[in-house]
Structure 1
Amino acid sequence: MSSRAPPPVPVALKGRGSASWVAGRFEKRAAVAEDDGWDALQLQQDDAISPATVVTEERARSIVSRNTSPDISFSQSVNPYRGCEHGCVYCFARPSHAYLDLSPGLDFETRLFAKTNAAGRLRAEFARPGYVCSPIALGINTDGYQPIERRYGLTRALIEVMAEARHPFSIVTKSANVVRDLDLLAPMAAAGLVTVHFSVTSLDNRLSARMEPRAAAPHARLRAMRTLHEAGVPVGVLVAPVVPAITDHELEAILSAAREAGAGSAGYVLLRLPNELKAVWREWLELHYPERAAHVMSLLQQLHGGRDYDSSFGHRMRGQGPFADLIAARFARAKRANGFARLPPLRTDRFVPLRRASPQGELF
């Protein structure tokens, strides 16, 4: 079990999405704060300080993850980091920290892991006999351009390997830092090898700061989108997640703003609450929207057959029922009105297998 002090009474922490160390589903013990009658909990709450970010470097045995999910458009993905400092309270990847005996709450955004050999493992994969080229989704579970990328540069190193192998890939990010790699992305885009999708949840800076505290501000994402578009990189927008009674009213405005910034495609995903994320989300709602929390959860349960979440393929991304149908109809109408289409398909025919590193070095 991870070592940490008993959590204080949950209080919104500046720069963090979660407010406490929500217990992971595999933990055998849980720390609970109890009032001693001397206002100890109130003092703890008043003095609450956002925990610092701690990064552990690790060596990955493999780097390419594969899936056969029928409602996901890619079969291969690469994630150079575990955990994400963006701190998005709604992140569906939070429960993965439970496998590390860490909290899907604050630990997910403060106890991070950097796969320092990621580029080397990807190079070995591309040199493996029989490797079949298929587009790779970069930074899907956790954002490859989260703040610690400025220090580690693992995402850039991965892109350099894909550029060398002429391997197609796509990026999904909430960071404006992606423009740093425009020198690599632009020539690859010209060869049909890369697309970039920006996830935009809200255009409201204050709401964004509460929901996704260390991600780029909405206007910064749109500015980065425009920069990539003007450089010839195909860009799309993902309204993800759409949150009933919190952000769903912005759906049309987000699509319009993204189209103006150069987005050529658009998609959306409704809020998903797998495993411990239910507790993280409910805690956030009670802290930031106590008067609306019950209504939000009621709408979410309507989307998932009376439960907080239905993980069934075909339902987990879109939900079902009248409210889900209304969101789908609004999205389809706004998509048509703004002239969104599909991004060009990524090319796999230009892939060049890499040579395995030889202990004798290169003679020629």
Structure 2
Amino acid sequence: MQIKDGEAPEQCLQLLDGKQGSSAHDLSLHTLPPAIGDLAIKIDSLDASSHLPEWSTKSAKGVIGPSSSLTSKEVHVLLSHNHDGEQSTNKFLLPFARTNLDKTSWDAPSSNFGETCYTTCYWEWAEDVLSGHRKVLLDAKIYDAVHASLFTYDYCGNTLHAFLELWCHTTNTLHSSTGELSISLWDLRKLGGLPIHGTFYDEVVPSADELCGTSVDGKSRLPASCIHLFSAFHKLTKRTKDVRIADWIQFWFKGQSRYQPPPLRVSRRRISSKPQTAHNPSGIIDNDYAFKINNKAEQFLDLGVDETSRDETYLAAFLSCWICKFLLPRHEIGHIRPSVFKVASLICMHG
């Protein structure tokens, strides 16, 4: 496989078949400049800082309580530049407020949370990675998040409806009777176990220079595992235009399927009924279950991955699948997106 930069009709990463002069299968992926590293575009500081001297202000607001009685209450309002200079809470919904939903549909929201997200051999692959790459995942602060992908969860549709009715998508804040609230970085840290400080990773398709070149200190800009992921993606696109998560798992994971598709969490006939078993994994990670590297040699030999890079490439391939399966927006779920290869490889290299 040859890798080079293209500029028509836009800057792109071109993946070509190994034969010179052959254009039987070319793959072009749109690239963006990196935000970090020696290739990052230098951005001049802004004349006016967007820093807010105060995070909130107090405002009197009439609140309708559960008994439909109107009372005046002083609430804290979160300040934001997205409010166009208006600090009034009148345009925001508050709990128990009467709203006109004639033009709004409140069907059950589409979400992976609470629904069955079963993909053949994903749970087996996750158990293998959790067993064999525990230290790297712990260092990256994502072990618990990956472990949580072994289960399905119940959810309450009414609770989600109430939450969405009070959510302002322009400011990502929730408007409650006590004022305007937001999910803080500390909340994300406690709920998801994800780090909230340190150098962030780019989720973009890198250029050929960034992918294959060296930095100012002579080291490779990106780990070799990133190149191998693009090579595998290029190989799979020869079969189908869009690479599905199931195709990606079948290519990388060579173990046996041990879990059956779980039943529906909620019965169609009786909403309150639940199945007696969920068919989820137990969550207990067996350290003896991890596959040996010689049992995973087929795909590495196919891609030309040397033995020193196999563990890192294997983990990066799984993290790419995990990100696409659980962290991408709903309309992108189900397919492998090459924009996540860079972040997956950097996590494996730096932890």
TM-score by length of 2: 0.24
TM-score by length of 1: 0.23
Larger radius of gyration: 2
